[in-house]
Amino acid sequence: MNEKDRADLVVVGAGTVGGWASVFAASELGRVVVLEQGLVGQGASSRAAGIVRAQGGTPATVALGRWTIDFYRRQSATYGTDSGFRELGYLILAITADDERAGRERVAMQRREGIDVEWLSGDGAHDLIPTLAATGHRGGSYLATDGCIDPPRNVRAYSLAMQAAGVEVRERTAFSGLVTEDDGVGGRRVVGIETSAGRIATDRALLTGGPSLRRVGKIAGVRIPAGAARHTVAVLEPHPVFDVDRMPMVFDIGGGLYWRLEEGGLLFGWSDPDELPGEARSINWPMYEAQRARLAQLVPVTRDLGIRKIWAATIDYTPDHLPILGPAIAVDGSPIRGTTIASPGGHGMMWGPGVARVAADLAIHGGTRLVDVTDLGLDRFDEHGRSRLATDPIALPFPHTAAGADDVEEAEHPGAGVATR
């Protein structure tokens, strides 16, 4: 191994998780290297809709959301740059009686966790957001301090912070394997990273990858049941009744449809739970029409608005919609010491910096005070990728399984890409 190329931490992936984790780690370690197979931010992080909420469905996701919003607020003072966070308020709608019962229980849990969320009746919701239909829903949970960021601005913010922190970014450099050795206690430990440009010696690796995390895991010889699916976002033309100063965002959770204002037009996004997992390659126009119809019921003024832009991109998800934060486990079940896995489970704008902070803590100290990670590691999944945890109830309707075509390849080549010495 070329011992001259040595790092205290190698991070795979320069999305919001790898980017911010490298910044946090650089304040405690000497040399932090980030590998990015393409360009910084080119994954999901630059294509997101930017919705940020502390209204999580579990105590852990409430904590990650709160920490992340506090981080966005402190950002300018800490780093001299920001991700464009705007506090807009977020209403999570209930359409059915079941939605309302679940929503009220969720509010009780969230209040116990310390967030000032409230339940608005149908009339209360309509009074707060006059563009929302007066009927056809039962109000919902509302938190005034939720909001949104500008995803490309977030990429810029962590890029500048990485530069200021002295993080070494290697673009167009792909991670191609872990180098491990026997740890003497029944497992292995990382001693290096293989890349498309040679080997780096290190005792610490942090594997991120967003929608590609499953593949990154496979390269490392780690089974990660993270999925990838099409997610579509569109922006309509402006309408004079939109309150461009502060119109709260809304999530029609049953329909998997959310919206907020973007440069005066209404931005809305959705996922299709019936779609097979895989990379987004095109716009599903019939699905777009179906979502427009649902939107027109809930926001009647959108009915005849023209479309300004639309994009489909590949979103990451996990089978229980919760983040993955914990040590790497080899396909044979043994730990790979010094290697940490981090996935925001499709919520990288609302949890990403929090997930990154936890990931840096785990990589450096083996523990964190931000959130209880006992249940968030890879060991919660069985060999079929099924989680033993209850699903986070506030999430997009992602496909119900993270299994994809590459499982076949994995079964045929378990542990491919692991080098030992």
Ligand X SMILES: Cc1cc2nc3c(=O)[nH]c(=O)nc-3n(C[C@H](O)[C@H](O)[C@H](O)COP(=O)(O)OP(=O)(O)OC[C@H]3O[C@@H](n4cnc5c(N)ncnc54)[C@H](O)[C@@H]3O)c2cc1C
Which spans of this chain sit near ligand X (rule: CB under 6 A)?
A: 12-18, 35-38, 42-45, 47-51, 174-175, 208-212, 216, 219, 231, 233, 269, 313-316, 344, 346-350, 352
Contact indicator for 243, 403 with CB cutoff of 8 Å: no
> Considering beta carbons, is residue 51 or 330 the nearer one to ligand X?
51
CB of 146 to ligand X, least distance (A): 11
CB of 374 to ligand X, least distance (A): 22
Whole-angstrom distance, CA of residue 8 vs CA of residue 6: 7
* Strand, coil or helix: 60: helix
CA 118 from centre of chain: 25
Bridge-based pairing of strands 168-170 and 32-35 is parallel
For residue 267, is it left (φ>0), alpha (ψ between -120 and 50) or beta? beta
Residue 11 Cα distances to 33, 204, 393, 412, angstroms: 6, 9, 31, 28
Q: At what angle do helices 59-79 and 352-365 cross, to 10 degrees?
A: 90
CB of 321 to ligand X, least distance (A): 11
> Considering beta carbons, is residue 15 or 147 the nearer one to ligand X?
15
> Considering beta carbons, is residue 183 or 313 the nearer one to ligand X?
313
CB of 57 to ligand X, least distance (A): 13
> Considering beta carbons, is residue 160 or 174 the nearer one to ligand X?
174
> Considering beta carbons, is residue 122 or 235 the nearer one to ligand X?
235
Whole-angstrom distance, CA of residue 144 vs CA of residue 133: 20
Tokens of 240: 């004079």
Q: Long-range contacts of range 399-402, CB-CB < 8 Å, 24 or more positions apart?
A: 399/227, 399/229, 399/273, 399/275, 399/276, 399/277, 399/317, 400/273, 400/319, 401/227, 401/277, 401/319, 402/214, 402/225, 402/226, 402/227, 402/277, 402/317, 402/318, 402/319
CB of 182 to ligand X, least distance (A): 25
CB of 280 to ligand X, least distance (A): 7
> Considering beta carbons, is residue 13 or 122 the nearer one to ligand X?
13
> Considering beta carbons, is residue 233 or 261 the nearer one to ligand X?
233
CB of 186 to ligand X, least distance (A): 28
* Strand, coil or helix: 231: strand
CB of 219 to ligand X, least distance (A): 6
> Considering beta carbons, is residue 217 or 327 the nearer one to ligand X?
217
Q: At what angle do helices 151-165 and 16-26 cross, to 10 degrees?
A: 30
DSSP letter assigned to residue 176: E
Burial bucket for residue 96 (CB in 10 Å: 0-12, 13-18, 19+): exposed
> Considering beta carbons, is residue 231 or 321 the nearer one to ligand X?
231
CB of 104 to ligand X, least distance (A): 24
Tokens of 301: 């003024």
Contact indicator for 93, 125 with CB cutoff of 8 Å: yes
Amino acid identity at 245? D
